[in-house]
Structure 1
Amino acid sequence: MISIVSFNDANGVHVELTFGENRFEMPARHVLVVLRHKGKWLLTRNSVRGIEFPGGKAEEGETIEEAAVRETIEETGVTITNLVKFAEYVVQSNVTFCKAVFTAEVVHIDESPILHETEGAEWMSDSELDACTNLSFYMKDEGMSAIRKWVDTYESQRND
């Protein structure tokens, strides 16, 4: 069963989130990587927006899977593998775009990475993430709660 969540984000922009494959008429060219490793969520600190999951835009000629791996390395120093695309969302702003949401497994953590656009990896437990006062605006909406819940369920089923 495909689930669709429709809401306005913290900036008042309409967002449609779906758990399923290619439910929107536009291809995803942006990515978001939501994963937990050893009980902690992988996040990054954006100097402007605050704490958020790693992600960004696919470059010319790059698949969204390649973009997810590259963005995670660039923003956190963490290398990932076994990507699972589990959701997409469309942000209907001045320039409407579609973002693919992935989870993955950690292969390697570079403790001294060369970073792009962020201040590096932040690892947080559920309670630390829930109590964080410096979250990016997109981390505060109902879509992110649904995404985190999906990853929780996926991990539980995978580890059984």
Structure 2
Amino acid sequence: MFSYTDLNGTGVELSFKKNAFPIQATHVLVIAKYKGLWVLTDHPIRGIEFPGGKAEVGEDLAVAAAREMAEETGAIITNIEWLATYLVQDDQPFAKAVFVANVASIQPEFKPRETNGLVLLTEEEFNNAENLSFHMKDSGMKKMLERMSERENC
């Protein structure tokens, strides 16, 4: 378990073990690359971030991850694998399941509804981006990206 305070001052716990928290995840986050580029979305308020959101009532979290990715970026994902879960100690605590996936394709005629749409970044652009959302800059995200990198190198 890794505990940290996000850049908004909220306590967060991150675990790479399933079912580590007393509440079930109801939110999802998807970390993916397409042809070597990070697949992100441009949130109109927070900035550039990995796609994600709330699962619908009764919706499987992996299905929610695929739906959110498609809705926010136009990307169709496959090989969706759970990576981690984090618990946000907000006024109303919630847990978010983090998935990694392969991007099979990107819909060419995609029109975003909730975001400003797809952002593809090289590793260098990603590391130097100034308009990343706050949670993309915290120590929990760094841990998740390290874990993803370890998985890729296996």
TM-score scaled by structure 1?
A: 0.93
Question: How do residues 1-160 of structure 1 correspond to structure 2 at under 5 angstroms?
Answer: 4-157=1-154
Does the 8 Å CA contact 1:35/1:151 hold for their aligned counterparts? no
Shift of residue 76, structure 1, vs aligned partner: 0.2
CA contact (8 A) 1:83 1:102 kept: yes
Q: Which runs of 5+ in 1 are unaligned?
A: none
Measure how far apart 1:61 and its partner are. Answer: 2.1
Partner amino acid for 1:65?
A
For this pair of structures, how many residues does the alignment match? 154
Q: CA RMSD in A?
A: 1.0
Deviation at 1:149, TM superposition (A): 1.1
**Aligned-residue offset at 1:112:** 2.1
Q: What's the CA shift for 1:133?
A: 0.6
Q: Secondary structure of the residue that 1:45 maps to in structure 2?
A: strand
1:66-89 per-position Cα deviation (integer Å, ceiling 9, x unaligned): 110000000000010111101000
Question: Matched residue of 1:33: which SS?
Answer: strand
Runs of at least 4 residues of structure 1 off by over 4 A? none
Structure 2 distance, partners of 1:150, 1:127, is: 19
Tell me how far apart the structure 1 counterparts of residues 128 and 74 of structure 2 sit (CA, whole Å).
Answer: 24
